[in-house]
Structure 1
Amino acid sequence: MARRTHKGEDDGTTSNNRLELIIEAAARMFDAKGYSATSTQDIANEVGLLKGSIYYYINSKEDLLFRIIEESHEGALRAIATVSHLDVGPLAKSYALVTTHVKVFHDDRVKHSVFFKEFRSLSDNRKEIIRGTGHAYSLFLRSILEEGQQVGQVDKALNPRMATAGIVGMLNSMSFWYQDGGSWGPENIGSQFAEQVVLGLVSEEYLLSSGGRKVLLETIRGELA
């Protein structure tokens, strides 16, 4: 039996595209107005649907919030995949993870902003799903730092768990001050952050054997080129 099509609903050939438009519109509105202050009617109006038709694509407004936050975290998983395949040392991997993180944030800034503003609005079970992704990212970064300590690149006096929390906190802070079109572009921010991280992690012995700060950073950038 054929499914009845409602006004404002796709015939099935463009459903995925329409859902993405709804998600993008919801992200912009949640970021600008807040989750609680945005209604499904607001979102439907933004994409040219009747309010009832939007429920062809979602079951609830929270579904949209979850998809937005989930997509913001998919970038973190892509960053892990990219860096994990690099045939470079731990300090270079740290540098690459930071610059990749900044690029991922820039490319999907609105969804990342919604995550930090509205994560509390998710149901408990969905919060746990999102926390799992964040935990995987932190574990990956911590494993890089621990490897760096084992091979002598990273200062053994550093607590890897605390250093990881500090780096992640610095990167996540972009959600509160970054502006598109500002004087600090993503490439500049990424390289500045990455240099700060590397120089904060490197052991004195490895820094000296590498020829100093400038040479170390040039070597790392060369490895990643």
Structure 2
Amino acid sequence: MTDQTATQGSPRRQEIFRIAAEIFYRKGYDATSTKDIADAAGILKGSLYAHIASKEDILFAVVEEVHTLFERNVADVEAAAGEPLSRLRRFVRGHMQVALSALKQHQIYSHDWRSLNAERRAVIQRKRDEYQAYLAGLLRTAQRTGEVRADIDARLMSISLLSMLNSVHVWYREGGGASADEVIDVHCTIVLDGVLTHTN
């Protein structure tokens, strides 16, 4: 994923972004040095700056790209017709599909975004807040139709649901015994069963 959109440029630059994201995934952003990236890319540290302005630029690009995928999930939900519960299910499935299809980048998005500078961190925080607020809105709509429990605050519910959905990168590994589709199905069942009224 990191060789597209925000990381567009020369093939060499795209490759450096891909390599850096892989190291961020394995070591964490803060533990990764520009020398680590240069060594993995097979170039001198000084030559790295011909392709990137800073290590943080790569982190910001990765985080923004993941969030762009989440924004597309919102657009897909908005474009789909259906009852509130159907739209809520679509949101949950779409979120999980993003998290699993870009597992390494999603880990970086979840763990390392706070290492961005204050200005960039504020940009990402605003986007995260808007995304969470959208989910809260879906839940409120489903509460009004009686499909989702009304005894739980929709905002707190949305925060809890996203926390659970975003934890998948902690334990899921490809080839680990469960397919991505199985994981998505299980999460949809567990997550939604906890918020639905007994009649649904």
Establish whether TM, by shorter chain, passes 0.5.
Answer: yes
- In structure 2, which of residues 40, 43, 54 is the aligned counterpart of residue 49 of structure 1? 43
Shift of 1:57: 2.6
- In structure 2, which of residues 51, 61, 70 is the aligned counterpart of residue 67 of structure 1? 61
- In structure 1, which of residues 148, 153, 159 is the aligned counterpart of residue 147 of structure 2? 153
1:167-206 to 2 correspondence within 5 Å? 167-204=161-198, 206=199
**Alignment of 1:32 onto 2:26:** yes
Shift of 1:183: 1.4
- In structure 1, which of residues 91, 95, 104 is the aligned counterpart of residue 98 of structure 2? 104
Q: What amino acid sits opposite 1:189 in the alignment?
A: V
How many aligned positions are there?
193
Shift of 1:150: 1.8
Moved more, 162-171 or 188-197: 188-197
Matched residue, 1:20: 14
CA contact (8 A) 2:149 2:197 kept: yes
**Alignment of 1:116 onto 2:106:** no
SS at match of 1:105: helix
- In structure 2, which of residues 85, 88, 92 is the aligned counterpart of residue 91 of structure 1? 85
Shift of 1:77: 0.9
Separation of aligned partners in 2, 1:85 and 1:103: 17
Are the structure 2 counterparts of residues 34 and 202 from structure 1 closer, same or farther at C-alpha, using a change threshold of 3 Å? closer
CA contact (8 A) 1:95 1:195 kept: no
Are the structure 2 counterparts of residues 116 and 202 from structure 1 closer, same or farther at C-alpha, using a change threshold of 3 Å? closer
CA contact (8 A) 1:83 1:93 kept: yes
CA contact (8 A) 1:95 1:194 kept: yes
Matched residue, 1:142: 136
Shift of 1:163: 0.9
How big is each residue's C-alpha offset from its partner over 1:126-181, in whole Å with a ceiling of 9 and x where there is no partner?
Answer: 11111112112111111111111222222222210111011101101112111121
CA contact (8 A) 2:100 2:169 kept: no
CA contact (8 A) 1:83 1:96 kept: yes
Separation of aligned partners in 1, 2:117 and 2:142: 38
- In structure 1, which of residues 133, 136, 158 is the aligned counterpart of residue 127 of structure 2? 133
Q: Which 4+ runs in 1 deviate beyond 6 A? A: none
CA contact (8 A) 2:69 2:98 kept: yes
Gaps of 5+ in 1: 1-13, 208-225
Shift of 1:73: 1.5
How big is each residue's C-alpha offset from its partner over 1:202-225, in whole Å with a ceiling of 9 and x where there is no partner?
Answer: 223x43xxxxxxxxxxxxxxxxxx
